[in-house]
Amino acid sequence: MHTKWKMMAATAAISIMAFANSASAAGELNIYNWGDYTSPELIKKFEEQFGVKVTITDYDSNDTALAKVRAGGHGFDIVVPSANYMPIWIKEGLLLEARPDQMENFKNVDARWADVEWDPGRHYSVPWQWGVTGIGVNTKVYGGDINTSAIFLDPPAELVGKINVTPEMNDVLFATIKYFGGAWCTTDKDVLRKVRDKLVEAKAKWLAMDYSVTEKLPAGDYSGVYYWNGAIMRAREKNADIKFGYPKEGFPVFMDSVTILKDAKNVENAKLFMNFIMDPQNAALISNFAKYANGIKGSEQYMLPQMQSAPELVIPAELEKAGEFLLTCEPDVQQLYTKIWTEVQK
């Protein structure tokens, strides 16, 4: 009886603690994230566990998110920048130094992502998802080599007028610079002249530069894309003719991370969310929805079986060296690249 009483008392204490945690967390959380990138199942689980009402607002590019937050009056608590933009957010004082490295679940962060160049020691951010930018092709339309950036820079006749390219400046410039044998963040005028001329010429052969790949590629509206691997995997799940290619000339590797804004109204709820997504089961929900790797060790065992061997997530050994992490260039280099991008957009 005594032991049973102790167990009941312990259970009651846990219940009270859970209630207290839920009560203290009750309220709202406003997340500003890339479109079609947040698992509804994850959000439902978080809301139910902590009694927090989550609102998600979408953005379509790093530049859009940065501009919106810089302008102020946004009402967001969390934003999810890419690694190559993180130094800008930190330098401009837009983020809270939330110290996720001191949170309980930080022990689950894979060593590769625990201390990163764009956020040393992870004082500001935790991993959300990471992946690569590569090639997606409908093999019913084109049956040649797809492990090349020529698919969108020198498109084969079958794909002309049927290509969509991500509107992200850095991803596109990275692949094009590599196509001409240059190094990322290069200021070599000959290389950059070739890059600009090639992109202006190639753009005339594209159909679009937008974000609707998961619908339009499997539907046949696009036959070739330069885009993110997770979205192309989602397209393949709808149409088995879709195949993914890793440009042998060079392709960018990216990571998006969850951060808390300096002017967030719901800081404690945002910190709860940070810790929550470093739990392997919750990280797996993120990946199972959007089809990217997540950076949390132990999450693999909770992922869908098809994620383990997906060609979009497993880089062939012979092409691994072509992948390079997309880091931030110096401001003067970034200005050069923005000028090129502006010309391409005309």
Q: What is the pLDDT of residues 126-142, one digit of tens each?
A: 999 999 999 999 999 99
Cα–Cα distances (Å) from 197 to 134, 173, 176, in that order, read 21, 12, 11
Quote the pLDDT of residue 24. Answer: 44
Banded model confidence at residue 82, pLDDT cuts 50, 70, 90:
very high
Q: Give Cβ neighbours of residue 148 (< 8 Å, ≥ 6 apart).
A: 135, 245, 247, 248, 249
Q: Is the pLDDT of residue 3 over 60?
A: no
Quote the pLDDT of residue 18. Answer: 41
For CA atoms 290, 129, 46, 111, the dihedral sign is: positive
What are the structural domains of the chain? 2-130+255-307 (3.40.190.10), 131-253+314-345 (3.40.190.10)
Amino acid letter for position 130: W
Nearest-angstrom CA–CA distance, 254 and 172: 13
Q: Is the pLDDT of residue 90 over 60?
A: yes
Averaged pLDDT, 146-171: 97
Nearest-angstrom CA–CA distance, 169 and 136: 18
164 and 213 Cβ atoms separated by less than 8 Å: yes
Low-confidence winner among 19-33, 164-178, 296-310 (lowest mean pLDDT):
19-33
Quote the pLDDT of residue 308. Answer: 86
Nearest Cα to Cα of residue 233 among 219, 256, 217: 217
Cβ-based burial of 110 (10 A; exposed 0-12, middle 13-18, buried ≥19): middle
Nearest-angstrom CA–CA distance, 334 and 184: 11
Averaged pLDDT, 34-42: 97
Per DSSP, what are the bridge partners of residue 226?
135, 165
Q: Is pLDDT larger for residue 61 or for residue 110?
A: 110
Nearest-angstrom CA–CA distance, 66 and 5: 56
Quote the pLDDT of residue 17. Answer: 42
3-state SS assignment for residue 197: helix
3-state SS assignment for residue 160: coil
Packed helices 2-25 and 40-50: angle between N→C axes, nearest 10 degrees: 110
CB atoms within 10 A of CB 65: 24
Nearest Cα to Cα of residue 78 among 321, 310, 212, 275: 275
For CA atoms 277, 283, 287, 289, the dihedral sign is: negative
Per DSSP, what are the bridge partners of residue 163?
224
Quote the pLDDT of residue 51. Answer: 96
Q: Is the pLDDT of residue 20 over 60?
A: no
Q: What is the mean pLDDT of the chain?
A: 93
3-state SS assignment for residue 117: coil
Q: Give Cβ neighbours of residue 33 (< 8 Å, ≥ 6 apart).
A: 56, 57, 58, 59, 78, 79, 80
Nearest 5°: the CA angle 187, 255, 314 is 105
DSSP symbol at 182: P
Nearest Cα to Cα of residue 63 among 96, 91, 39, 34: 34
